[in-house]
Structure 1
Amino acid sequence: MAEDPENEMPDEIVDAVEEAAEDAAEALGPVVGIVMGSQSDWPTMRPARDTLRVLGVPHEVRIVSAHRTPDRLFDYAETATGRGLKAIIAGAGGAAHLPGMLAAKTRVPVLGVPVQSRTMNGLDSLYSIVQMPRGIPVGTFAIGEAGAANAALFAAAMLATTDAELAERLDMLREAQTASVAEEPDDL
């Protein structure tokens, strides 16, 4: 789930949660979309996919560029509701128009993840996503991989309000996360 070894879940806990979620994920079509502007955004967005996978949340992953594939973006947004999506996690860097354009074209909640850029270290992406005009909301998360993982957890929490099994899996994951935190440093 996370690349920081201090924040990783123990394998046996992840395996138990994944096993509990497999049947639910197979029975449904995707309910969360994960989109990014380009292939280079995938390393940042992968934790969103990994988190949804662990929780057994059916999802899809697509590359949809606001600038290079605007027709694909419009089609994706306009068909999201009809395809059963309940949330879209959108990652973008630089000008980062993808989350806002998706939000302008669908009523499905859009969760924006700023991708770290070379020019301004991701602040340009963050400002582009967080400064949406009134009437076109985008839930905005932290820059980078932590933001992607948290966007997935947020999407799962939204879905869990009407899905008792997912709520139970989310609770299990949170309990495992709490249990994985050491009470004192190893080298005392």
Structure 2
Amino acid sequence: MSKKQPLVGIIMGSDSDWPTMKLAADICKKFNVPYEARVISAHRTPIDMTEYANEAHKRGLRVIIAGAGGAAHLPGMVASLTPLPVVGVPIESKALKGLDSLLSIVQMPAGVPVASVAIGGSKNAGLLAVEIIAQNDQKLQAKILKYKNEMAKDSRAKNKNLKHKTTTKKKTKKKVSKKVRRKTTSR
């Protein structure tokens, strides 16, 4: 948890969700965006969930990232109670590999929006939260652009490396095929 006033709330239904949700926290740390992380269950502690959602904006939070598995009611219930944007992270479940969680999060009724990322996609949830906060922060926008440029640079380097590998293999195959042709024509 950050020591500054948190801007992002990272909540989850159980501490077993932390390995997935930690990636959102890591992104917040990378961009120096203060966050808080809490276990708040829509089913086990509904009063705590209601209080959290009702008070989050009053405490200075700007975005809530809510991870949940199975029935995955946490993101939708929080979204119904807060004026803040809520990003839902479907947590992979044993029964349906997280598809149940994904569908619970994306199938919200009109008037209760929840943004959703991929199953287990809390890294993207963290990035989305940072981008939302960066709308009024040019320095943070510059950090995001730098991050995206670094990803592009890495991708281009991987492409160049792959081209080199495939070009080398093609040259090797051509040399072999010439040798084979010489042997077969000399017979």
- TM-score normalised to structure 1 length: 0.82
2:84 is matched with which residue: 96, 108, 132? 108
Confirm whether residue 175 of structure 1 aligns to residue 149 of structure 2.
Answer: yes
**Correspondence 1:87-98 to 2 at 5 A:** 87-98=63-74
1:74 CA drift (Å): 0.7
Offset of residue 155 of structure 1 = 1.1
Q: Structure 1 or 2: larger helix share?
A: 2
Measured in 2, the distance between the counterparts of 1:45 and 1:161 equals: 23
* In the alignment, structure 1 residue 83 sits paired with structure 2 residue 74: no
Structure 1 stretches of 5 or more lacking a match? 1-24
1:155 aligns with 2:129: yes
CA-based RMSD = 1.3
Q: Secondary structure at the match of 1:42?
A: helix
Task: Output one character per residue of 1:125-158: Cα deviation in whole Å (capped at 9) or x when no partner.
Answer: 00110000111110011001xx211111111111
Q: What letter matches 1:156 in structure 2?
A: V
Distance 2:147 2:82 in 1: 30
The structure showing larger relative contact order (alpha-carbon pairs under 8 Å, at least 6 residues apart) is 1
Aligned length in residues: 161
Q: Mark the structure with the bigger radius of gyration.
A: 2
Distance 2:148 2:31 in 1: 11
Identical aligned residues as a percent? 48
Query: Aligned partners of 1:111, 1:68: CA distance in 2, in Å?
Result: 21
SS of the residue 1:88 aligns to:
strand
C-alpha deviation, 1:92, in angstroms: 0.2
**Secondary structure of 2:68's match?**
strand
Unaligned runs of 5+ in 2: 167-187
Q: Deviations over 1:67-96 (max 9, x none)?
A: 001111011101101110110000000000
How far did residue 187 of structure 1 move? 4.5
